[in-house]
């Protein structure tokens, strides 16, 4: 199910969507270890930041202890990133992550890295599949995430 009002083309439009359901914000600080030889944040750091945001997202909408007991993890199936501006040492940033679509075993998450002035530094979309790490088979998304998404859909229907 896709959220009504979500901007499915925000990457192409290079614009942070106004509607970002189930959004979380994670502070990010550029460290010296994030820099390449030119003193600009290396592209690989964005992947690490997405991992940090995704872990915080699922910590909020799924019980990590329960996942561990069930041998379940969120596996990234696809990542798209658009770099908007170079970042340098000491930049204070915010990572934003929200839901674009939820299905039975996978979800598409939108993400953005913004600076203190709310300038876009990067936009991303990730498709995440929940899977049992022993069998390597997909499993249902956490009930808490599915419920939060369903509640959001009901709330949208009430407003119409």
Domains of the chain are: 20-159 (3.10.129.10)
pLDDT interval class at 76 (50, 70, 90): very high
Taking the C-alpha atoms of residue 149 and residue 22, their distance in angstroms, rounded to an integer, is 8
Contact 149, 98 (CB under 8 A): no
**Residue 155 pLDDT:** 53
| pLDDT tens per residue across span 110-124 | 999 999 999 999 999
Tell me what percent of the residues of the chain surpass a pLDDT of 90.
65
What is the arithmetic mean of pLDDT over 35-48? 95
pLDDT interval class at 67 (50, 70, 90): confident
| Dihedral angle of Cα 74, 120, 18, 112, to the nearest 10 degrees | 0
């Amino acid at each position: 199910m896709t959220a009504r009002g979500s901007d499915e083309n925000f990457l192409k439009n290079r614009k942070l969507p106004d509607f970002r359901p189930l959004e979380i914000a994670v502070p990010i600080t550029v460290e010296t270890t994030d820099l390449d030889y030119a003193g600009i944040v290396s592209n690989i750091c964005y992947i690490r930041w997405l991992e940090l945001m995704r872990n915080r997202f699922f910590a909020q909408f799924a019980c990590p202890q329960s996942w561990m007991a069930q041998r379940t993890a969120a596996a990234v199936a696809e990542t798209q990133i658009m770099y908007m501006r170079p970042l340098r040492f000491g930049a204070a940033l915010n990572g934003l992550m929200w839901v674009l679509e939820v299905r039975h075993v996978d979800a598409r998450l939108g993400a953005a890295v913004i600076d203190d002035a709310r300038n876009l530094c990067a936009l991303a979309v990730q498709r995440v599949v929940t899977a049992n790490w022993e069998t390597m088979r997909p499993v249902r998304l956490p009930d808490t995430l599915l419920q939060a998404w369903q509640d959001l859909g009901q709330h949208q229907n009430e407003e119409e």
